[in-house]
Amino acid sequence: MHKKVTKAIFPVAGLGTRFLPATKSVPKEIMTLVDRPLIQYAIDEARAAGITEFIFVTSRGKGALEDYFDHSPTLEAELERKGKTDLMEVLQDTYMDSGAVAYVRQHKAMGLGHAVWCARRLIGNEPVAVLLPDDVIASDTPCLKQMVEAYEQTGGNVVAAMEVPSERTSSYGVLDVKEDMGNMVSVKGMVEKPEAGTAPSNLAVIGRYILTPDVLGHLDTMEEGAGGEIQLTDAIAKEIQASDNVYGFRFRGQRFDCGSKAGFLQATVAFGLAREELKDELQGYLNELAAVKQAAE
Ligand code: G1P
């Protein structure tokens, strides 16, 4: 029996410069996809996978994120007074059990590996999930739940992976595949943001990980990697050498890169179309746009 995965780290310390000026005063993770902040999607996914302890690695200026998961007595009292039970219901997902959330501060932007390392004392000798809220994944079975099932079979480290075009591999961590078993691949290496033409495969890592405590141990060395940052990919690569216990997992679902403007807009359309109350109006508008474009051609 493998130790259950009950803890998750959410690295949310980034400045979100790609979304300036919006992110000047609003944390990127609070930006809204339809009517829910990005972070809510990640939390929902983690909950659905059985996570009960949520660790946010934050930085200066992320106060709105802490407030988001707190009760808001004034708002609640007002909604209650007005009998708005439907809206009170909407707020339920934003509440966390007392003591279930912890915030750790990353004092300096030293990379994803460093952010995860900042949470090490709260993880101890347990497996941990890491979710990057920029990567939003639409799927019938939430991506992390699929990964927990894969972890329960292997007991090894599981990283979410998907095929990307060759010209995009330099934006990702990329897997060096040992054996391709379909949904699962065993891995003999992993490279962070390989230079064009040098990627070991087209299988890119997406921001969902289940990690054994040893990986966090490898981060202790604080070695700089790609971009002069302490990379999570490098710590996982060390674990591959040490234990040969790392698997790539081709998840079922569609991933949106909400760290880019185009990806965020695509996600907005896709999640809008998935909402019963919005889909007809939105689809009608998209049809109109397509018709106008066709007429102009
Ligand atoms: C991070 C990881 C990278 C991974 C990517 C997925 O990179 O370092 O290995 O492929 O997330 O979104 P970032 O996009 O933060 O530069």
How far is ligand 1, taken at its centre, from the CA of residue 172, in Å? 5
How far is ligand 1, taken at its centre, from the CA of residue 271, in Å? 22
Let me know whether 181 and 287 are in one domain: no
Residue 191 confidence (pLDDT)? 96
pLDDT tens digits, residue range 201-236?
Answer: 999 999 999 999 999 999 998 888 998 999 999 999
Cis peptide before 194 (omega within 30 of 0): no
Candidates 217, 203, 123, 117; CA nearest to 168 is 203
pLDDT tens digits, residue range 260-295?
Answer: 999 999 999 999 999 999 999 999 999 999 888 888
Contact between 112 and 202 (Cβ < 8 Å): no
Number of domains in the chain: 2
The answer, yes or no, to whether any atom of ligand 1 lies below 6 A from the CB of 233, is yes
| Residue 2, domain member (yes or no) | no
Let me know whether 278 and 132 are in one domain: no
Let me know whether 287 and 223 are in one domain: no
Residue 98 confidence (pLDDT)? 87
Domain of 294 in residue numbering reads as 261-297
Let me know whether 241 and 297 are in one domain: no
Element (H, E) at 259: none
Let me know whether 279 and 231 are in one domain: no
Candidates 170, 136, 131, 168; CA nearest to 258 is 136
Longest C-alpha distance within the chain, in Å?
Answer: 62
Let me know whether 188 and 274 are in one domain: no
How far is ligand 1, taken at its centre, from the CA of residue 84, in Å? 41
Q: Return the best residue to mutate from 15, 205, 211 for the ligand 1 pocket (most ligand atoms within 8 A of CB).
A: 205
Let me know whether 249 and 268 are in one domain: no
Q: Look up the CATH number of the domain holding residue 86.
A: 3.90.550.10
The answer, yes or no, to whether any atom of ligand 1 lies below 6 A from the CB of 173, is yes
Let me know whether 136 and 29 are in one domain: yes
| Residue 101, domain member (yes or no) | yes
252-262 as b/e, with b when 16 or more CB fall inside 10 Å?
ebebbbbbeee
Let me know whether 248 and 278 are in one domain: no
Sign of torsion, CA 48 54 60 65?
Answer: positive
Q: Which residue type, as a one-letter code, is found at position 147? A: M
Query: Residue 233 CA: which ligand 1 atom is closest?
Result: 9
| Residue minimizing CA distance to atom 15 of ligand 1 | 112
Residue 294 confidence (pLDDT)? 81
Query: Residue 231 CA: which ligand 1 atom is closest?
Result: 8
Q: Is 278 left (phi over 0), alpha (psi -120 to 50) or beta?
A: alpha
Spans in the chain with pLDDT lower than 50: none
Q: Is the pTM of this model over 0.75?
A: yes
- Tell me how crowded residue 277 is: count the other CB atoms within 10 A of its CB: 7
Residue 173 confidence (pLDDT)? 97
